[in-house]
């Protein structure tokens, strides 16, 4: 008489998916008197469950025989993982998309599924109080000269860091909730802060960081899309003009093309903020402030500022230094020591008339 084996209840995860159709006894074979074995039983979900072995219909010969035993089986874990959907977008989506090294504005999103041998999603592979039971993934850089350790998460967007912490119903997303909400990443500059790149077609991928079940064959899951990484800097021009006129502020963004800095005409994303300008050394104690023609923000066009910002007329001759508090990815090692904000000199009253001179400007 061949016994019956049936699933009774799910132990872990609590409240998980439990259906008797998910279990198959396989073929029970008699291996000794009173002993049967199945080599092809299956449970097509994750987690732990309780099985019960009993006589068919709880009868032996002609008598009732409500005897049987229960045992915990599992933990069952995924056969593997599959990348369901993903995308990778540059920080600046201009006609020529790009991202600055150091700018944590690269948009990355994905959904990774835990699957069984048939490729079905295991909804029971979900976060539990002990997250050591789930595999964890982090980002890496694929097929590039850039070291993957230079990846970092935007602290305002991913306070838990670059790795992921929680599975939900067999799915893992970088934002830990829904793939439609991207997370923001960046690639740091080299620690030496020397010019580098440009790096084109950089790919990001997912790599396992915690694999408690030693699941085989987990490679790198490459996200859909690439980013182009640029080393950039913000430059301010020296200014000069009559003491009774506004000096228009001239700023531009430059990129390293591999040999030298050139104006980054693809940048129409960077915006300058009026309140970020500040006067430094002012030996002549000139009274001037930033005037705005079109609000607090001034977007760059083709990497160059417009005439929206300027220093108000000083009313006297002299000069002062001024700087702009730039984002870290547009600072530069101007004096060979540390990265600094860009600075320049504004000079009032340096124009003079002469029969033989049409225009004169002091160059610094």
At 257 the pLDDT is 97
Beta strands in 277-329 (DSSP E): 277-279, 290-292, 297-299, 309-311, 318-324
Domain boundaries defined on the chain: 4-76, 80-230, 232-348
Give the range among 113-122, 153-162, 182-191 with minimum mean pLDDT.
153-162
At 19 the pLDDT is 92
Evaluate if pTM is beyond 0.85.
no
**pLDDT over 70 at 305, yes or no:** yes
- Spatial strand order of the sheet with 68-76 comes to 4-12, 47-54, 68-76
Binned at pLDDT 50, 70 and 90, residue 357 comes out as very low
Mean model confidence pLDDT for the chain: 86
Binned at pLDDT 50, 70 and 90, residue 162 comes out as low
pLDDT tens digits, residue range 307-353?
889 999 999 999 999 999 999 999 999 887 788 999 999 999 965 44
Cα separation values, 314 from 240, 243, 274, 307, 337, Å:
12, 5, 18, 18, 33
- Rounded to 5 degrees, φ, ψ at 58 are 55, 40
pLDDT tens digits, residue range 98-120?
999 999 999 988 889 999 999 99
At 62 the pLDDT is 59
Tell me the percentage of the chain whose pLDDT exceeds 70.
86
CATH for the 232-348 domain, from 2.120.10, 3.30.70, 2.60.40, 3.40.50:
2.60.40
Residue 85's DSSP bridge partners are 111
For range 198-226, the mean pLDDT:
89
Cα separation values, 242 from 103, 325, 337, Å:
39, 26, 35
Buried b (16+ CB within 10 A) or exposed e, 116-145: beeeebbbbbbbbeeeebbbbbbbbbbebe
CA Rg value for the chain: 33
pLDDT tens digits, residue range 61-90?
555 666 678 899 988 999 999 999 899 999
Closest among 342, 345, 336 to 253, alpha carbons compared: 342
pLDDT tens digits, residue range 34-50?
788 888 888 999 999 99
**pLDDT over 60 at 161, yes or no:** no
Q: Running DSSP on this structure, what letter comes out for residue 162? A: S
**pLDDT over 60 at 123, yes or no:** yes
At 180 the pLDDT is 57
């Amino acid at each position: 008489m061949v016994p019956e084996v049936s699933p009774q209840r799910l132990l872990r995860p609590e409240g998980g998916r439990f259906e008797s159709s998910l279990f198959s006894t396989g073929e029970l074979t008699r291996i000794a008197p009173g002993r049967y074995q199945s080599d092809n039983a299956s449970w097509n979900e994750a987690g732990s469950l309780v099985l019960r072995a009993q006589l068919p219909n709880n009868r032996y010969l002609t008598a009732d025989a409500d005897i049987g035993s229960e045992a915990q089986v599992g933990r069952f874990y995924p056969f593997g993982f599959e990348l369901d959907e993903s995308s990778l977008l540059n920080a600046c989506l201009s006609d020529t998309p790009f991202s600055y090294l150091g700018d944590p504005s690269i948009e990355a999103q994905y959904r990774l599924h835990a699957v069984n041998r048939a490729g079905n999603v295991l909804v029971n592979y979900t976060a539990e109080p002990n997250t050591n039971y789930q595999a964890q993934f982090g980002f890496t850089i694929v097929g590039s000269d850039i070291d993957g350790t230079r990846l970092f998460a935007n602290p305002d967007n991913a306070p838990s860091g670059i790795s992921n912490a929680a599975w939900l119903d067999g799915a893992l997303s970088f934002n830990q909730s829904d793939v439609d909400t991207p997370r923001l990443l960046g690639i740091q500059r080299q620690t030496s802060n020397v010019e580098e790149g440009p790096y084109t077609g950089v790919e990001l991928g997912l790599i396992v960081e915690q694999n408690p079940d030693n699941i085989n064959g987990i490679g790198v899951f490459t996200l859909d899309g690439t980013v182009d990484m640029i080393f950039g800097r913000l430059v301010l021009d020296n200014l000069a003009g009559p003491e009774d006129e506004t000096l228009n502020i001239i700023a531009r963004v430059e990129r390293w093309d591999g040999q030298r800095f050139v104006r980054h005409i693809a940048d129409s994303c960077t915006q300058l903020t009026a309140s970020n300008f500040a006067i430094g050394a002012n030996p002549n104690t000139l009274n001037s402030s930033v005037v705005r023609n079109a609000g607090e923000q001034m977007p760059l066009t083709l990497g160059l500022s417009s005439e929206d910002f300027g220093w108000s007329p000083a009313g006297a001759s002299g000069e002062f230094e001024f700087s702009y508090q730039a984002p870290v990815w547009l600072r530069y090692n101007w004096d060979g020591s540390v990265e600094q904000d860009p600075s320049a000199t504004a000079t009032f009253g340096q124009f003079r008339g002469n029969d033989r001179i049409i225009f004169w400007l002091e160059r610094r």
